[in-house]
């Protein structure tokens, strides 16, 4: 999906309040979360490269959102590929 912020998917399809935006920068896929109930989240957090997310996923111990699930690299790649093909 795409809106004025860019390409996005729902990290939890049951909760449409959250969107995960994706873009490519310098050959690396980056992610940025948006939440309709916390509009400042977009302003407070910048784009996060997937490499940093992989490191966070390695340290994940089950006490918060699992970065490996919320930041879906395969889905991000598919969105970016589809967007390039539609131009």
Measured distance CA(32)–CA(47) in Å, rounded: 5
Give the list of residues 6+ apart from residue 53 with CB closer than 8 angstroms, or none. 31, 67, 71
Residue with tokens 């490191």: 55
Measured distance CA(87)–CA(34) in Å, rounded: 25
The count of structural domains within the chain is 1
Give residue-wise pLDDT tens across range 19-64: 999 999 999 999 999 999 998 999 999 999 999 988 877 776 666 6
Domain limits at 60?
2-85
Q: What is the pTM of this model?
A: 0.88
């Amino acid at each position: 999906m795409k809106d004025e912020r860019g390409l996005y998917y729902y990290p939890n399809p049951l909760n449409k309040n959250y969107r995960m935006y994706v873009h490519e920068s310098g050959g690396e896929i980056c992610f940025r979360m948006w939440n309709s109930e916390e509009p400042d989240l977009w302003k407070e957090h910048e784009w996060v490269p997937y490499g940093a997310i992989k490191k966070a996923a390695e340290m994940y111990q089950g006490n918060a959102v699992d970065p490996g699930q919320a930041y879906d690299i395969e889905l991000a790649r598919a969105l970016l590929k589809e967007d390039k093909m539609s131009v």
